[in-house]
Chain A
Amino acid sequence: MKFRKFKVKIFSGDTEYGFEYKFSDSLNIIRGDNSSGKSTLVNALIYSIGMEEIIGAKGPKVLPYALKSHFELQNKKINIVESSTIVEVENSKGDIRTFKRAITSNDKNTKLVEVIEGAFLTDNESGKFSSTYTFLHDAGSAQDKELGFFALLEKFIGIELPFVSNNNGGESKLYLQTIFSSIFIEQKRGWTNYIANTPYYPISGLREKIVSFLMDLDNFRNERKLDELKSERNRITSIWSEISTSIKMTLKPLSLSTLGLSGKPLIDFNPELVNVGEGQDNEFKPIQRILFDLVEKIRAIEEREKGNITDQGPELVDNIEKIRSDISELMLLHKMCGDEVRISSSKKRQYQQTLDSVKADLKKNKLTQKVNEFGAEINLKIARNQCPVCLNPLDGTLSPPENESMPMTIEENIRHLENQKMMIESLLNGLDKQIAKEEAAQLKISDELKAKRIELTSFRKEMLSFANTNETDIRRKVSLESRYSSLNEAKKEVESYLEQLESLSKEYQICQSAINEMSKFTNSFNDNKKIELLEKHFRELARKFDYRSAQVRDISIHPTTLIPYLEGLELREYSTDIKSDSSASDFVRLIWAYLISIYKVSYEKSGNQPGILLFDEPAQHSMGLHSVNEMLKELSSLEGLQSIVAASFDQSDAAFKESTEGVQFNLIRLPRKLIQQIQPG
């Protein structure tokens, strides 16, 4: 992708202000003095293709007020009514599109980008172009192929962003913004890390993913699989720690603890190596031992009780046992009888209710019969079941005529009810007898029970007179027994947890070995060649840019993180000499070398770097002019790369001259004020 032309249009009243610049296909140097609007130009350019998240936020708030509300020109304050960015870009196939986006507008949303097919700016904004509106930032702008700007831009650049697994366990597309964060380096945050100004997305290892994608490494597919496995491993780890916490929670109230239980998954977990017990370290007493001791103690107390009895009255004990069993048998019988009585009584109540309602009905029927007789006497036709109007016979009810059932006459009805009454009455008689019988049986059983109980009490008294069972023993026994049962329960619970852990351990083993397997072969042969190439270019460039903090030949590119490492550590600001303050600017040299090397690898091995680099104020931390010169030389010599470098060159012509010595470039010299009047109204 290449920028061809960029324009910012500002309207105030009927006067048009703004600026417009043309870019060449290779190195472009934007030279502007401090506060001339260099960053305004760079940020507006980034904003024009929707990448302002790299600068720090979504929407026009990343832009200075001079593009939004007002600016000063010739000591006059000018208020902005409407402003917008227009950028003309060309892709590797030579297709040209123009993107127009509003900054301040009354009627256009800043999340809309107008896509114009063709070189709208080069043709002086005249002529016929077809255009569509696409949207930014809202959900779908990266996915919607018709209306999403990022989806359109992705297609236009000719890359296809891969899906990567995110931290929420799902999958999301690698965002276009993340790719551009390795291409557009803005001055505030951009020079603090290799790829610093990536907007936040919940994707882990984003930096490796970006670099892998730019160099088109084979491991990308594997990476995804690896991510899946890693999230599976996380899942197992969290279940494991949940279970182990549950075990501890179960044991804590019983003042028990565990030995050999790991809070993290183990590959060769053996539940038998986990010990539950009391105490710590050397005085640890396993639960089996505790339970055994408890049983022993309980038995000792029982023996003492029994010993006292059996010594002195064996037949007494037998008698008590026998009476006890008799009593429990009788109690069972008593209960059965009681149930029968209750059932019969409830039946009786039901029959009684039915009988009452039958009686009431009978009374009412007889009443009706009398009224009918009287009505017939005084010639009421209805009383003789005749229609008083048409004299047709009626069926003797008030139900609607369409009712098809054949109703009884009153006489029949009375007979019917009387029969029912008789039947229920005889049923009730039978029930009464049955209840009486059952109650008698129950009474007999309860008498017997009473007798047996008295017998038992007397035997007990007899026994107590010579048995020394004391209350303390009983109390102790009860507490020992309850301790025993709760320990036993906890033991069972822990055992089931341990079973779960065992199966989890197997899952973990499978997952872990798959991860190991994958890590071994993450990089294919081609990948390793690319990484070697990256390393080679990186070392070369670092040396060229006067990197001094460490021996360049000791720096290597880590095969998985793809970041420069020195002696096993990520190479950041590294200083052998504390007194020298060159380390900060040295790190910036590494960033140049790194980003340019990625482009070189991508170019040589046809990767996905879109062929553009934008450095805003790369000469940070009083960088030596020689380094800048080398960097610019490098950029201008690279084929297929459009580079844009914005810098102030210490506001000195000499510095500019020295920096650009022997460099081919297109100069964009900014005036003292960036925003100028374009056309009078």
Chain B
Amino acid sequence: MSILHFERKAMPVIPEHRPMYKICQILLILNISSTGGKSSLIRLHLFNWALKDKSRLKMLVSSSQSGVISFGVWGIDPVLNMALNFGTAEGLIKKINTGFQITHTGKDFLNKGNIQGLFGDDAEPLTLIGKSITEQMVKDVARRWKNEV
């Protein structure tokens, strides 16, 4: 009688789903593109969604220049929430009333690890955008969702 053996093979994972990768992205968004290192969750999702695709990043850059967000909607990724939890647990980020804020430890981590240099592809457009995507602009779009439904 023959026996069948099953062996589980590991699956490849896209790098964006690695905890440290995503945490680094969040820290960069908070540090470079958010006033006072603070951002609402929905705004973080907007940046996270834009960072996944080059054409979206371009549109976000042009939105920052025009002062009106040109996306009608954007994707909400549960992976971001997981990364936020881990980052908060590590003390790199802290939860505040309006959303999340980068901590001292977080800033330290960015500087000492030269994260901005390593994540050049993400950091460059973020620098270009600067802090000009405001909470108010995000709110305006989000209000439209509510009203239009």
> With A399-B79, A400-B78 known to touch, is A383 a contact of B20 (CB < 8 Å)?
yes
> With A371-B113, A371-B115 known to touch, is A382 a contact of B20 (CB < 8 Å)?
yes
Distance, CA A417 to CA B14, complexed state (A):
11
Q: Are B118 and A370 closer than 8 Å at their CB atoms?
A: yes
Q: Is B109 an interface residue (CB 8 A)?
A: yes
Distance, CA A361 to CA B90, complexed state (A):
26
Q: Are B19 and A413 closer than 8 Å at their CB atoms?
A: no
A291-335, CB < 8 A from B: none
Q: Is A407 an interface residue (CB 8 A)?
A: yes
Q: Are A375 and B10 closer than 8 Å at their CB atoms?
A: no
Q: Are B90 and A368 closer than 8 Å at their CB atoms?
A: no
Q: Are B86 and A388 closer than 8 Å at their CB atoms?
A: yes
Q: How large is the interface on B (under 10, 10 to 19, 20 to 34, 35 or more residues)?
A: 20 to 34
Binds A, one of B21-29, B34-42, B141-149: B21-29
Distance, CA A381 to CA B89, complexed state (A):
10
Q: Is B15 an interface residue (CB 8 A)?
A: yes
Q: Is A374 an interface residue (CB 8 A)?
A: yes
B52-100, CB < 8 A from A: 78-79, 82-83, 86-87, 89-90, 92
Q: Are A378 and B16 closer than 8 Å at their CB atoms?
A: no
A349-388, CB < 8 A from B: 361, 364-365, 367-368, 370-372, 374-375, 378, 380-383, 385, 387-388
Q: Is B104 an interface residue (CB 8 A)?
A: no
Residues of A within 8 Å of B17, CB to CB, are 397-399
Q: Are A396 and B15 closer than 8 Å at their CB atoms?
A: no
Q: Is A654 an interface residue (CB 8 A)?
A: no
Chain A residue at smallest Cβ distance from B19: A382
Residues of A within 8 Å of B10, CB to CB, are 406-409, 412
Distance, CA A394 to CA B17, complexed state (A):
13
Minimum Cβ distance to chain B for residue A547 (Å): 87
- Pick the contact of B19: A364, A396, A400 (CB < 8 A): A396
> With A367-B118, A371-B118, A389-B89 known to touch, is A407 a contact of B21 (CB < 8 Å)?
no
Minimum Cβ distance to chain B for residue A359 (Å): 12
Q: Is B1 an interface residue (CB 8 A)?
A: no
Minimum Cβ distance to chain A for residue B144 (Å): 30
> With A405-B11, A417-B12 known to touch, is A397 a contact of B89 (CB < 8 Å)?
no
Q: Are B11 and A406 closer than 8 Å at their CB atoms?
A: yes
Q: Is B112 an interface residue (CB 8 A)?
A: yes
Residues of A within 8 Å of B3, CB to CB, are none
Distance, CA A383 to CA B113, complexed state (A):
13
Residues of A within 8 Å of B90, CB to CB, are 380-382, 388
Q: Are B12 and A368 closer than 8 Å at their CB atoms?
A: no
Minimum Cβ distance to chain A for residue B117 (Å): 11
> With A388-B89, A408-B12 known to touch, is A374 a contact of B113 (CB < 8 Å)?
yes
Q: Are A398 and B12 closer than 8 Å at their CB atoms?
A: no
Q: Is B5 an interface residue (CB 8 A)?
A: no
Residues of B within 8 Å of A375, CB to CB, are 20, 109, 113
Contact with B along A398-420 (1 / 0, CB 8 A): 11100001111110110011000
> With A367-B21, A368-B21, A371-B113 known to touch, is A398 a contact of B11 (CB < 8 Å)?
no
Residues of A within 8 Å of B89, CB to CB, are 382, 387-389
Q: Are A364 and B86 closer than 8 Å at their CB atoms?
A: no
Residues of A within 8 Å of B20, CB to CB, are 368, 371-372, 375, 380, 382-383
Minimum Cβ distance to chain B for residue A395 (Å): 9
Residues of B within 8 Å of A381, CB to CB, are 90
Q: Is B139 an interface residue (CB 8 A)?
A: no
Distance, CA A413 to CA B15, complexed state (A):
9
Distance, CA A270 to CA B51, complexed state (A):
80
Minimum Cβ distance to chain A for residue B91 (Å): 8
Please indicate which of the listed interface residues B19, B82, B87 has the most CB atoms of chain A within 10 Å of its own CB: B19
Residues of B within 8 Å of A380, CB to CB, are 20, 90, 92, 109
Residues of A within 8 Å of B79, CB to CB, are 398-399
Q: Are A361 and B14 closer than 8 Å at their CB atoms?
A: yes
Chain B residue at smallest Cβ distance from A401: B82
Please indicate which of the listed interface residues B10, B16, B87, B119 has the most CB atoms of chain A within 10 Å of its own CB: B10
Residues of A within 8 Å of B4, CB to CB, are none
> With A397-B18, A398-B83 known to touch, is A378 a contact of B12 (CB < 8 Å)?
no
Minimum Cβ distance to chain A for residue B13 (Å): 5
Q: Are B119 and A367 closer than 8 Å at their CB atoms?
A: yes
> With A371-B115, A371-B118, A388-B90 known to touch, is A410 a contact of B18 (CB < 8 Å)?
yes
Residues of A within 8 Å of B86, CB to CB, are 382, 388, 398
Q: Are A398 and B15 closer than 8 Å at their CB atoms?
A: no
Q: Are A364 and B109 closer than 8 Å at their CB atoms?
A: no
- Pick the contact of B15: A364, A383, A399, A405 (CB < 8 A): A364
Q: Are A397 and B21 closer than 8 Å at their CB atoms?
A: no
Residues of A within 8 Å of B113, CB to CB, are 371, 374-375, 378
Residues of B within 8 Å of A409, CB to CB, are 10
Residues of B within 8 Å of A397, CB to CB, are 13, 17-19
Distance, CA A155 to CA B31, complexed state (A):
95
Distance, CA A383 to CA B87, complexed state (A):
11
Minimum Cβ distance to chain B for residue A203 (Å): 59
Distance, CA A440 to CA B21, complexed state (A):
48
Q: Are A394 and B11 closer than 8 Å at their CB atoms?
A: no
Please indicate which of the listed interface residues A381, A398, A406 has the most CB atoms of chain B within 10 Å of its own CB: A398
Residues of A within 8 Å of B92, CB to CB, are 380
Q: Are B23 and A382 closer than 8 Å at their CB atoms?
A: yes
Distance, CA A665 to CA B147, complexed state (A):
87
Q: Are A398 and B22 closer than 8 Å at their CB atoms?
A: yes
- Pick the contact of A361: B8, B15, B87, B109 (CB < 8 A): B15
> With A398-B82, A400-B78 known to touch, is A368 a contact of B112 (CB < 8 Å)?
no
Minimum Cβ distance to chain A for residue B112 (Å): 7
Please indicate which of the listed interface residues B11, B14, B20 has the most CB atoms of chain A within 10 Å of its own CB: B20
Q: Are B82 and A368 closer than 8 Å at their CB atoms?
A: no
Minimum Cβ distance to chain A for residue B49 (Å): 15
Distance, CA A75 to CA B14, complexed state (A):
107
Minimum Cβ distance to chain A for residue B6 (Å): 12
Residues of B within 8 Å of A385, CB to CB, are 19
Distance, CA A406 to CA B16, complexed state (A):
17
Q: Are A378 and B15 closer than 8 Å at their CB atoms?
A: no
Distance, CA A389 to CA B14, complexed state (A):
25
Distance, CA A80 to CA B24, complexed state (A):
95
Q: Are B112 and A378 closer than 8 Å at their CB atoms?
A: yes
Distance, CA A417 to CA B12, complexed state (A):
9
Chain B residue at smallest Cβ distance from A395: B13
Distance, CA A365 to CA B115, complexed state (A):
14
Distance, CA A450 to CA B24, complexed state (A):
63
B interface with A by C-beta (< 8 Å) = 8-24, 78-79, 82-83, 86-87, 89-90, 92, 109, 112-113, 115, 118-119
A-B contact pairs, 11 of them (CB 8 A): A364-B16, A365-B18, A371-B20, A371-B115, A382-B19, A382-B23, A388-B90, A394-B19, A397-B19, A398-B19, A400-B82
**A361-B15, A378-B113, A388-B86 provided; 15 other pairs, C-beta below 8 A?**
A372-B20, A378-B109, A380-B92, A382-B23, A382-B86, A385-B19, A387-B89, A388-B90, A396-B18, A397-B18, A398-B17, A398-B83, A399-B82, A406-B8, A412-B10
A interface with B by C-beta (< 8 Å) = 361, 364-365, 367-368, 370-372, 374-375, 378, 380-383, 385, 387-389, 394, 396-400, 405-410, 412-413, 416-417
10 A-B pairs closest in CB distance: A364-B15, A388-B89, A408-B10, A398-B79, A374-B113, A398-B82, A368-B21, A407-B13, A368-B18, A371-B20
